[in-house]
Structure 1
Amino acid sequence: MSAGPVTQPVPVRWHDRLDPRPAFARAGQSLPAIVQIVIAATAAFAFAHFVLGHETPVLAGTIAVSSLGLVRDARPRRVVETVVGMMLGVLVSEALLRIVGTGWWQLPIVLAAVLLVARLFSPQPGFAIAAAIQGLIVLLFPGADTEAVMARPLDGAVGGAAAILLTVVVPRSFRRELRHDARALFAAADAAVAAIVQGLESGQSRRADRGLEKARGLDPLVRAWRESLDSATAIARISPFLRRRRGELERQRRILLAMDLSVRNLRVVGRRAAYVLDDGVPRPVAADVLDQLARGMALVGECLEDIALEPAAREALRATAAHLHPAELLPDASLGDHSLLTAMRPLAVDLLTAAGAPPDDARAAIPRI
């Protein structure tokens, strides 16, 4: 009698689609970015209006809002590139309007010129789009007089300066985002390992296949954490308010790089587990070793919140790594079983590195074969 399917589709009830909690969570996560954008746009508009005397400094507000945005990547370099692209669109559009004038047939000419010039300046597609949007604003709302025309590039510069200044002076709170991304990766990796362990314990290759499938889906979580960390690190380099966080960010980067390698090695373990389980025979020894590595990985995740847990994580992983000798654990096993245990050795090394062990010490913790 064949075994039933390991997983079953879960029906989504109609009222689950109306659950407001994801929307409130999304809004809550965007609050720091919203505060930053509101302050930058208001300050830019107020400066251009009250200090410079411009009646309607539209570009001051729009450039401040557009250059910051609600994107995850709020690195100063990205903000500066966006500001430069927008200013380029304003300047090129203003110059062309003086030559060809305004009207419906001028629109494709100006827009094409702005996009071409922007593509010459930068390979980033977002740079050209930012320039084109500001060029359209200039084209669709031409200045009524020479003074208004001359004021618009200055308004754009004020908006860009406000965005760059707010990125440094009022940086977005990155700790919550980093914590969320790290927890998501460790939770998903734990679920992948658990499925492979279940397959090894029960002898069901389909469970191991399910764990492998989950492991293959970890890359987007790694990229999300890396993107958040790159943004926070870039801001911390120039913001006086975040300099004390540099040590914490460097520690997270070390854990991230090691987890990236661990995820890749976990996929190797998953593939070999699915292969050896084709015979339907449970592998309790391999399951126990992988489960111990999973517990060590969970401790590494807890180290992100409490650095004092790193010694405990290292000792737990070192104790498991010290016994990872395939021939000693399974002296009479097949080559496939030995290969499965061998695949766990690099995983143990990477997790030890994530727990703070120097790479040479992590490799030395594995018995030589």
Structure 2
Amino acid sequence: MVAAGRRGADAGPSTVARWWDRLVAALRDRVRRVRTIGGLALQAGLAAALSWLVAHSLLQVSQPVFAPISAVSTLAASVGQRLRRTVELIIGVTVGVLIGDLLLLVIGTGWWQLALIVVLAIVVALFLVGSAAVVIQAGATAVLIATLSPAVRDLEIPRFVDALVGGGVALLVTAVLLPLNPLRVLNRAARPALDLLATQLDATAEALAERDAALARTARGELRQSAGRLKAFVEATQGAREASTLSPVYWHQRHGPVGRYAQAAEPIDRAMRNSGTLIRRSVTLIEDGEPVPESLPTAVADLAEAVRLLKRQFAVGAEPNRAREQALRAVRTAGHAYRDGVGFSGAVVVAQVRTTVSDLLVASGLSQEDANHLVRRLFGDV
């Protein structure tokens, strides 16, 4: 009875500590989220205000409601898709106005006319472009034309003006007035993916050294979270390219750090997948009791450090020479492990170290041919 009471007393602080850790993690996640989109919020606010001022004060649109809406809609697009969103916005408005006006002249106004106008505007938009943004704008504009045109004269021109002003001002804010640093955008997106990969490779190295299958299984499960982080990284590369193309302030980064960083997304994706195979085979290796030469966990740990160095050197816009050297060290050590003697799964782990290193070398800026040649030479094939 006393022992049970003691276990309950011990469980209380443990439960509180877990809840506290979860609360802290949730708060950190929300702070990180605010920091990530804080720049977007400032851009949206500035674009909404400027588009309203331009439409109202300069172009004399009496109620420029849709100019700020168009600006915010453009900025709400995925980073890297804003120029395309502006074009889609204008196309959608054009389709909606044309369909609405033509049908109103023929069939008049009413509830069934509204339904027909919206259906036809959406069908035509789908036929011409097929983009969801164009469809939404065409349908919304058709509704406005069908419902407000009888009461508001010459609605079509203000709607065009609002779309042009809103999209144009959004691009102006993005490119000139309040541009986001493309390298910073990439760093924020790439850091979680690369940190996850390095951490789980470290855990796998420890699992191999300790022959701890449970630890390797945990690393395998954690790495499965990489899909969302990689998607965010790929989207960030599109945004960085757009920012460095549109913004004169960052033109110099197009073919330098940003260009190199953006090209790394695909090989880093491959490195993630190949590392997943490495970790899965490590679990099997340990469970089957295969030999684990001392150099094998060292090679995996070297691989984790190469990922970490790649992240650091990308973050400062430096040529990732140290990351390449560290990755090749992992290949050399994996070659020692292979010659020291490994089983079937151990040979797969060694092969995945080689393949992942090749991916990281390509991510660092080498060609696939040069990366493969270096890996073969350092491993001892040539």
TM-score where L is the length of structure 2: 0.82
Partner in structure 1 of residue 202 of structure 2: 194
Alignment of 1:174-193 (within 5 A): 174-193=182-201
Alignment of 1:281-292 (within 5 A): 283=292, 284-292=294-302
d(CA) in 2 for partners of 1:272, 1:118: 50
Partner in structure 2 of residue 300 of structure 1: 310
Deviation at 1:306, TM superposition (A): 3.1
d(CA) in 2 for partners of 1:28, 1:268: 34
User: 2:208–2:286: 8 Å Cα contact kept in structure 1?
Assistant: yes
Partner in structure 1 of residue 328 of structure 2: 318
Deviation at 1:303, TM superposition (A): 0.6
SS at match of 1:144: coil
1:29–1:135 CA distance, 2 compared to 1 (3 A): farther
1:308–1:240 CA distance, 2 compared to 1 (3 A): closer
1:288–1:359 CA distance, 2 compared to 1 (3 A): same
1:171-191 deviation per Cα after TM superposition (whole angstroms, max 9, x unaligned): 641443321111111111122
d(CA) in 2 for partners of 1:339, 1:18: 36
SS at match of 1:123: coil
The one-letter amino acid paired with 1:209 is R
Which of these residues, 126, 129, 137, is aligned with residue 122 of structure 1? 129
The one-letter amino acid paired with 1:198 is E
Which of these residues, 27, 41, 52, is aligned with residue 45 of structure 1? 52
1:324-361 deviation per Cα after TM superposition (whole angstroms, max 9, x unaligned): 32675423x33332232122111122223334445444
The one-letter amino acid paired with 2:247 is S
Partner in structure 1 of residue 343 of structure 2: 334
User: 1:114–1:131: 8 Å Cα contact kept in structure 2?
Assistant: yes
The one-letter amino acid paired with 2:331 is A
d(CA) in 1 for partners of 2:152, 2:263: 57
Deviation at 1:290, TM superposition (A): 0.3
SS at match of 2:125: helix
Q: Which has the higher mean CA deviation after the structures are superposed, 287-296 or 346-355?
A: 346-355
Deviation at 1:149, TM superposition (A): 4.9
Partner in structure 2 of residue 146 of structure 1: 153
Deviation at 1:148, TM superposition (A): 4.3
Partner in structure 1 of residue 245 of structure 2: 237
1:63–1:267 CA distance, 2 compared to 1 (3 A): same
Cα RMSD for the two superposed structures: 3.2
Q: Which has the higher mean CA deviation after the structures are superposed, 193-202 or 226-235?
A: 193-202
1:204–1:145 CA distance, 2 compared to 1 (3 A): closer
SS at match of 2:62: coil
The one-letter amino acid paired with 2:227 is D
* Identity rate, percent: 24
Partner in structure 2 of residue 3 of structure 1: none
Which of these residues, 120, 136, 140, is aligned with residue 113 of structure 1? 120
Which of these residues, 221, 225, 230, is aligned with residue 229 of structure 2? 221
Confirm whether residue 30 of structure 1 aligns to residue 60 of structure 2: no
Which of these residues, 151, 156, 166, is aligned with residue 159 of structure 1? 166
The one-letter amino acid paired with 1:110 is I
SS at match of 1:241: helix
Deviation at 1:211, TM superposition (A): 2.0
Deviation at 1:308, TM superposition (A): 4.6
User: 1:64–1:163: 8 Å Cα contact kept in structure 2?
Assistant: yes
SS at match of 2:248: coil
Partner in structure 1 of residue 286 of structure 2: 277
1:278–1:59 CA distance, 2 compared to 1 (3 A): same
d(CA) in 2 for partners of 1:151, 1:327: 72
Partner in structure 1 of residue 83 of structure 2: 76
d(CA) in 2 for partners of 1:38, 1:77: 21
Deviation at 1:57, TM superposition (A): 2.3
1:362–1:54 CA distance, 2 compared to 1 (3 A): closer
1:28–1:134 CA distance, 2 compared to 1 (3 A): farther
User: 2:183–2:258: 8 Å Cα contact kept in structure 1?
Assistant: no
Partner in structure 2 of residue 362 of structure 1: 371
The one-letter amino acid paired with 1:211 is A
Partner in structure 1 of residue 264 of structure 2: 255
Instruction: Flag the structure with higher helix content.
Output: 2
1:264-290 deviation per Cα after TM superposition (whole angstroms, max 9, x unaligned): 210221222122222356734321210
d(CA) in 2 for partners of 1:43, 1:86: 21
1:191-245 deviation per Cα after TM superposition (whole angstroms, max 9, x unaligned): 2213322321222333323222233331322221111111221332243222012
1:214–1:23 CA distance, 2 compared to 1 (3 A): closer
The one-letter amino acid paired with 1:212 is R
The one-letter amino acid paired with 2:119 is A
Give ranges in structure 2 of 5+ residues lacking alignment: 1-13
TM-score where L is the length of structure 1: 0.84
The one-letter amino acid paired with 2:53 is A
The one-letter amino acid paired with 2:363 is A
d(CA) in 1 for partners of 2:113, 2:260: 54
Confirm whether residue 60 of structure 1 aligns to residue 60 of structure 2: no
The one-letter amino acid paired with 2:288 is D
1:341–1:153 CA distance, 2 compared to 1 (3 A): closer
1:283-334 deviation per Cα after TM superposition (whole angstroms, max 9, x unaligned): 3432121011111211111111235572322222223323432675423x33
Deviation at 1:150, TM superposition (A): 4.3
Question: How many aligned residue pairs are there?
Answer: 361
